[in-house]
C-alpha cells in the first residue's frame, strides 16, 4: 500500500470515530492478539447511579451524603460524580473540604467539618473495621453487580453506598466482532470480583478484578510478554497500563492525558471502532507485503 492509501484509510477511520495516530500505530495494531479493557467508563458508560444507601450510624442520610459529596467534589472518578450529582439533586449544600487526597484505585479522603472522612473500596479497608454483618450486606449488594464504597468518619464506618453502571449499548456486539477476528479479550478492573463477574459474564469475557493501577500495569506486562496486547481505557487510573501495552487505545470521553499519550482513540466512544481499527491494520499490512 502506498502512503496515500494509508492516509486515505486513516481518514476513513477517523470519520467513523477511530483515530489512529500514524502509520507506526497502524502497523503495531496488526500484531495485536489480545485486547485488555478497563471496566468503568470503557465497557460501561461510566455514569454509575447510586442504587442503595445503607446507614451504619445514627447520623441523617442528608448530613452523610453532603459530607460524602464534599469529599468527592475534587475527584473526576465516575463514582465521585455520581455521589456529587445525588447531593446536588437533593439540593444539599456541600461543606468545604480540605486535605482532599485521591487514593488511586481505592478511594478518596478529606477533612470536612472537622472530621476525617474516607470513602473506600471495602477490600482496601483494614481487617476488623467492618462488622461481619456489614460485610454480608456488602457481599449481597456486590453479587447483584453493584460497586459498594464505604464512608468512614474518623475511622468509623458511617454508611455503605452502592452504585451501578450500565454496559455500553454496543459492548456485546464489539466483543463478538473481536472474537470473530480471533482476538482474545480480558477485562482488567479495580472493582470487586463479584461486581466484575456480573459484568464479565454478561459479555462472556475473561476478567481480573481488585487490581490497583500498578497491578494493571503488571498484568499488561505479563500478557505482553507472550503476545502483543492493546489496552483500552478512559485514562482515569489506567493511563499507566495503556502506556505499558503495545498499543494504548483511549476512549474519547476519557481524560486529556489518555488522549494525548494513546496510540489510538475511539473519539465517538463506540467500541465497534475496535474491530474496524484491527481490520484496517490487517488490510494495510497485507497491502504493504
Ligand atoms: P475501574 O478499574 O473499574 O475503572 P478504578 O481503578 O477506577 O476502577 O477504581 C477501583 C475501585 O476503587 C472502585 O471500584 C472504587 O471502589 C474505588 N474508588 C476509586 N476512586 C474512587 C472514588 N473517587 N470514590 C470512591 N471510590 C473510589
Ligand atoms: Mg476506569
The superfamily (CATH) of domain 3-45+167-288 is: HAD superfamily/HAD-like (3.40.50.1000)
Percent of the chain residues topping a pLDDT of 70 = 99
pLDDT at 284 over 90: no
pLDDT at 235 over 90: no
Catalytically annotated residues = 38
Q: Which of 86, 116, 85, 87 is nearest to 100 (CA)?
A: 116
Contacts of 143 (CB under 8 A, 6+ apart): 194, 198
Q: Given ligand 1 and candidates 71, 105, 195, 238, which is best to mutate, with the most ligand atoms within 8 Å of its CB?
A: 105
Q: Given ligand 1 and candidates 122, 138, 190, which is best to mutate, with the most ligand atoms within 8 Å of its CB?
A: 190
| Strand intervals (E) in the chain | 18-20, 34-38, 49-55, 97-103, 107-112, 115-120, 147-153, 156-164, 184-188, 206-208, 229-233, 247-251, 264-266
Distance from C-alpha of 10 to C-alpha of 273, rounded to nearest angstrom: 12
Buried b / exposed e across 112-140, counting CB within 10 Å, b at 16+? beeeebbbbbbebbeeeebeeebeebbee
Nearest protein CA to atom 4 of ligand 1, as residue: 40
Distance from C-alpha of 30 to C-alpha of 12, rounded to nearest angstrom: 17
The verdict on the CB of residue 165 being under 6 Å from ligand 1 is no
Which CATH fold would you assign to the domain 49-164?
Calcium-transporting ATPase, cytoplasmic domain N (3.40.1110)
Q: Given ligand 1 and candidates 191, 209, 213, 258, which is best to mutate, with the most ligand atoms within 8 Å of its CB?
A: 191
Nearest protein CA to atom 26 of ligand 1, as residue: 107
Q: How confident is the model at residue 258 (pLDDT cuts 50, 70, 90)?
A: confident
Q: Does the ipTM exceed 0.90?
A: yes
The verdict on the CB of residue 149 being under 6 Å from ligand 1 is yes
What distance in angstroms lies between residue 77's CA and the mean position of ligand 1's atoms? 7
Domain ranges of the chain: 3-45+167-288, 49-164
pLDDT at 237 over 60: yes
To the nearest 10°, the Cα dihedral for 42, 44, 45, 51?
-140
Question: Helix axis angle, 171-180 relative to 193-203, nearest 10°?
Answer: 70
Distance from C-alpha of 43 to C-alpha of 225, rounded to nearest angstrom: 24
Of ligand 1's listed atoms, the one at least distance from the Cα of 191 is 14
CB-CB neighbours of 61 under 10 Å: 12
Of ligand 1's listed atoms, the one at least distance from the Cα of 189 is 2
The verdict on the CB of residue 40 being under 6 Å from ligand 1 is yes
Nearest protein CA to atom 16 of ligand 1, as residue: 121
Do the beta carbons of residue 208 and residue 34 sit within 8 Å? no
What is the DSSP annotation of 211-260?
A: --HHHHHHHHHHHHHHS-EEEEE-STTTHHHHHHSSEEEEETTS-HHHHH
The verdict on the CB of residue 77 being under 6 Å from ligand 1 is yes
- Three-state DSSP at 193 gives helix
Q: How confident is the model at residue 177 (pLDDT cuts 50, 70, 90)?
A: very high
pLDDT at 18 over 60: yes
Amino acid at each position: 500500500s502506498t502512503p496515500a492509501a494509508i492516509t486515505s484509510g486513516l481518514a476513513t477511520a477517523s470519520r467513523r470515530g477511530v483515530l489512529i495516530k500514524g502509520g507506526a500505530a497502524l502497523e503495531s495494531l496488526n500484531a495485536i492478539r489480545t485486547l485488555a479493557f478497563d471496566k468503568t467508563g470503557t465497557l460501561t458508560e461510566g455514569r454509575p447511579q447510586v442504587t442503595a444507601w445503607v446507614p451504619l450510624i445514627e447520623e441523617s442520610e442528608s448530613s452523610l451524603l453532603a459530607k460524602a459529596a464534599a469529599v468527592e467534589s475534587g475527584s473526576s472518578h465516575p463514582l465521585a460524580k455520581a455521589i456529587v450529582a445525588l447531593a446536588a439533586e437533593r439540593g444539599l449544600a456541600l461543606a468545604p473540604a480540605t486535605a482532599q487526597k485521591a487514593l488511586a484505585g481505592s478511594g478518596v479522603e478529606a477533612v470536612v467539618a472537622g472530621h476525617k472522612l474516607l470513602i473506600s473500596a471495602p477490600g482496601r479497608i483494614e481487617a476488623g473495621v467492618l462488622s461481619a454483618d456489614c460485610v454480608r450486606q456488602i457481599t449481597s449488594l456486590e453479587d447483584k453487580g453493584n460497586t459498594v464504597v464505604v464512608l468512614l468518619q474518623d475511622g468509623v464506618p458511617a454508611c455503605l453506598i452502592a452504585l451501578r453502571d450500565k454496559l455500553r449499548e454496543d459492548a456485546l456486539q464489539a466483543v463478538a466482532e473481536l472474537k470473530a477476528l480471533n482476538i482474545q479479550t480480558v477485562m482488567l478492573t479495580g472493582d470487586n470480583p463479584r461486581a466484575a463477574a456480573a459484568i464479565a459474564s454478561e459479555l462472556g469475557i475473561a476478567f481480573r478484578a481488585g487490581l490497583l493501577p500498578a497491578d494493571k500495569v503488571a498484568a499488561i506486562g505479563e500478557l505482553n510478554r507472550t503476545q502483543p496486547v492493546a489496552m483500552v481505557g478512559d485514562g482515569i487510573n489506567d493511563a499507566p497500563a495503556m502506556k505499558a501495552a503495545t498499543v494504548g487505545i483511549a476512549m474519547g470521553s476519557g481524560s486529556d492525558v489518555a488522549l494525548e499519550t494513546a496510540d489510538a482513540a475511539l473519539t465517538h466512544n463506540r467500541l465497534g471502532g475496535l474491530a474496524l481499527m484491527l481490520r484496517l491494520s490487517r488490510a494495510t499490512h497485507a497491502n504493504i507485503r
